Structure 1
């Protein structure tokens, strides 16, 4: 991956709907070779897909909660099943297996504290094998950033 590829990625991270013409202009290529580079980045797995960023508050999801979870067991089977279960819970927008005192860090999007209580009772606490959890409500997001590309 060269500097032009990184610049293409930077343009796409800023706005994945940018036209090939505009991307080419930004990196000094015509649309055809620009498209070839993008296709190669997709095939190599560098570009995993295209998405749209949604405003959680505009959708009524006013609270973000970070939940630390510890499991009773750490067998491969337990971790795999826990991950599959989390994937099926729509309120869990991100789940990370982490090192340290807890096993997982979950990012949960809910309407309000009452909705979070419902999430705990009806979703999270229904999962077998959770030993302990701790919740932290996000007061304000100070930074959201794209991946650093080291241009």
Structure 2
């Protein structure tokens, strides 16, 4: 990966809707080589996809929780499959430390979040215990992967 690829990634990370003409102009390439580079980055798995960032409150989602979960050793695969399928679990990360997973949950309100925790989460395979932290407001959600990579 060279400086042009990194520049393309920086531009796309900032605005994935940029046209190939805009990308080409910003990098000093023509559209065809620019398109080929982006396509190569996609094929290599460097670019995993493109997405729209949706405002949760616009859809009536006002509660966000982070849940640390401990799972029985023999149930990790089943838990992970269930977590991937569950629509209220926005993200699931395997962790090292006192717990096994960190989940990010989004719900309508605290009542709905509590209903998920009491009625659904504990029923997922292998869940032994969990601890929840409620987010009161977002400070930063649009960090740059490229900025992190530049600090390695």
Same fold by TM (over 0.5)?
Answer: yes
Q: Could you tell me which residue of structure 1 aligns to residue 118 of structure 2?
A: 121
- Whether the 8 Å contact between 1:97 and 1:104 is mirrored in structure 2 is yes
In structure 2, distance between residues paired with 1:150 and 1:32:
27
Q: How many residues align?
A: 148
Q: 1:1-16 maps to which residues of 2 (within 5 A)? A: 1-16=1-16
Q: What are the superposed Cα offsets for residues 17-36 of structure 1, whole Å, 9 maximum, x if unpaired?
A: 11000011111111110000
Q: Could you tell me which residue of structure 1 aligns to residue 40 of structure 2?
A: 40
Structure number having the greater helix percentage: 2
Structure with more contact order per residue of length (Cα contacts < 8 Å, sep ≥ 6): 1
User: What displacement does 1:150 show?
Assistant: 2.5
Q: 1:1-151 maps to which residues of 2 (within 5 A)? A: 1-73=1-73, 75=74, 78-144=75-141, 145-147=143-145, 148=147, 149-150=149-150
User: What displacement does 1:97 show?
Assistant: 0.2
Q: Which runs of 5+ in 1 are unaligned?
A: none
- Whether the 8 Å contact between 2:67 and 2:132 is mirrored in structure 1 is yes
In structure 1, distance between residues paired with 2:83 and 2:121:
9
User: Counterpart of 1:61 in 2: which secondary structure?
Assistant: coil
In structure 1, distance between residues paired with 2:126 and 2:137:
31
User: What displacement does 1:117 show?
Assistant: 1.6
In structure 1, distance between residues paired with 2:77 and 2:130:
19
- Cα RMSD after superposing both structures: 1.4
In structure 2, distance between residues paired with 1:96 and 1:104:
5
